[in-house]
């Protein structure tokens, strides 16, 4: 999915949410701060509370290849984040020796990333291929 397609999707989603909010604005607001904490947990700052309400991640695509019939392919796009962050393992995040060398695996915050390319067959039909990779955001989860 291209950046412009994702931006169009986000814009459409925001318009949908805003229009739904306008319809519901005629009803009394019932969520107070206690309701928010019960639903989303304690938030360290006002901006983190906003992130809980507005943050969403685009799902990762399937990595099914197009196959040999689609032999004419464009270059791969750059990687972009997809899916939610998760706890995994990474080299260098484990226990360190007395000299500060950390060569063991340990818990790490991971993020899936994807890239895509469009391939064409002899009839001009297109197929989009995706590749996944995982990046490490930092040690500890």
Residue 101 CA, chain-centre distance (Å), reads 32
Q: What torsion, rounded to 10 degrees, do the Cα atoms 106, 107, 111, 115 define?
A: 20
| Cα–Cα dist 108/8, whole Å | 33
Of 48 and 21, more confident:
48
| Cα–Cα dist 75/77, whole Å | 6
Q: What is the pLDDT of residues 77-109, one digit of tens each?
A: 999 999 999 999 998 888 888 887 888 899 999
- Hey, is 116 helix, strand or coil? strand
| Cα–Cα dist 4/1, whole Å | 8
Q: What is the pLDDT of residues 23-67, one digit of tens each?
A: 333 334 455 556 555 665 555 555 444 444 445 568 999 888 999
Of 31 and 113, more confident:
113
Of 110 and 98, more confident:
110
Please check whether residue 60 is in contact with residue 83, taking contact to mean a CB–CB distance below 8 angstroms.
yes
Long-range contacts of 89-96 (CB under 8 A, 24+ apart): 90/136, 90/139, 92/139, 93/136, 93/139, 93/140
Q: Which residues pair with 116 in a beta bridge?
A: 130
């Amino acid at each position: 999915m291209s950046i412009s397609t994702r931006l169009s999707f986000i814009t459409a989603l925001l318009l949908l949410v805003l229009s739904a909010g306008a319809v519901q604005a005629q009803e009394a607001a019932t969520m107070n701060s206690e309701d928010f904490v019960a639903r989303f947990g304690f938030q360290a700052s006002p901006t983190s509370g906003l992130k809980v309400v507005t943050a969403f991640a685009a799902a990762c695509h399937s990595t099914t290849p197009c196959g040999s019939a689609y032999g004419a392919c464009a270059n791969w796009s750059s990687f972009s984040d997809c899916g939610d962050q998760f706890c995994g393992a990474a080299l260098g995040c484990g226990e360190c020796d007395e000299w500060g060398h950390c060569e063991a695996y340990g818990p790490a915050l991971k993020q899936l990333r994807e890239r895509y390319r469009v391939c064409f067959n002899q009839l001009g039909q297109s197929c989009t291929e995706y590749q996944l990779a995982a990046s490490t955001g930092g040690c500890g989860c």
